[in-house]
Amino acid sequence: MIITRAQPHHDQDLSQLDSACFTAPERWSIGSWNGELTADDRLVLIIPGLDDQLLAAATFQLVGNTADLHRVMVAPDHRGHDLATRLLRLGLEWAREGGAERMLLEVRHDNNAAIQLYRHLGFGAIAIRADYYGAGVDALIMERTLESDIETGESL
Ligand SMILES: CC(C)(COP(=O)(O)OP(=O)(O)OC[C@H]1O[C@@H](n2cnc3c(N)ncnc32)[C@H](O)[C@@H]1OP(=O)(O)O)[C@@H](O)C(=O)NCCC(=O)NCCS
């Protein structure tokens, strides 16, 4: 299983994985994915499957000393095998090497799997944004500082 940087032609595959991972209101358009794939300050990582389908992907942004995790998604049949963990560890390392001192993310307050994943990787909640995802659906803002000892055991 390899982890590689996505290229602009992966937009359809990313959009397909996105549709398998999110409900309609939360899905990103193919235009949004194109934006991630073409912006200079992004890292989009993918784990390709045996066919054209992607098993997992994550996208990050780095601005100044702060990185953001924009999205992480793992195909439903491939969850629970550390794919998200591996993607996020590489993203954390990329951000640290690029000069980031911290990574931030926003997550739905009721997305337990994602919140547990982020805690597992050292993120802690720093704020709540009420109604961020719609009435009654708050966002948790989580942060992780980027010290120099992130060990991924893999490289791009
Ligand atoms: C959240 C998501 C990315 C996790 O992917 P994954 O590859 O299954 O996660 P990992 O196998 O790397 O899990 C690492 C840790 O996260 C936590 N975790 C992951 N899934 C969990 C779940 N369903 N329930 C509770 N904890 C969970 C556990 O602590 C786990 O460690 P453990 O296996 O030692 O218990 C995946 O469920 C997903 O794609 N969900 C839909 C998209 C989404 O909500 N993305 C996040 C917002 S952008």
Question: CATH number of the domain that 100 lies in?
Answer: 3.40.630.30
pLDDT digits (tens, 9 = 90+) for 100-120: 999 999 999 999 999 999 999
pLDDT of residue 26: 92
Tally the domains of the chain: 1
Residue among 23, 115, 117, 121 whose CB has most ligand 1 atoms within 8 A, to mutate: 117
Residue 63 placed within a domain: yes
Range(s) of the domain holding residue 90: 4-104
Q: How far apart are CA 141 and CA 138, in angstroms?
A: 10
* Cα–ligand 1 centroid distance for 60 (angstroms): 17
What percent of the chain has a predicted confidence (pLDDT) above 70?
A: 94
Residue 71 placed within a domain: yes
Residue 61 placed within a domain: yes
Q: For residue 73, give the ligand 1 atom closest to its CA.
A: 39
Q: How far apart are CA 118 and CA 99, in angstroms?
A: 21
* Cα–ligand 1 centroid distance for 37 (angstroms): 24
Residue 50 placed within a domain: yes
- The token pair that represents 91 in the structure block: 């993203």
* Cα–ligand 1 centroid distance for 83 (angstroms): 9
Which residue has a Cα nearest atom 10 of ligand 1?
Answer: 82
pTM metric for this prediction: 0.95
Q: Say if residue 50 is exposed, middle or buried (CB neighbours under 10 Å; 0-12, 13-18, 19+).
A: exposed
* Cα–ligand 1 centroid distance for 105 (angstroms): 15
- Taken in order 125, 130, 134, 137, the sign of the CA dihedral is positive
pLDDT of residue 153: 60
Provide the H-helix boundaries in 52-154.
83-97, 112-120
The whole-number average pLDDT for the span 51-61 is: 94
Residue 70 placed within a domain: yes
Residues 74, 84 contacting (CB under 8 angstroms): yes
Tracing tokens 């690029």 back to the chain, one arrives at 98
pLDDT of residue 81: 98
pLDDT digits (tens, 9 = 90+) for 8-26: 999 999 999 999 999 998 9
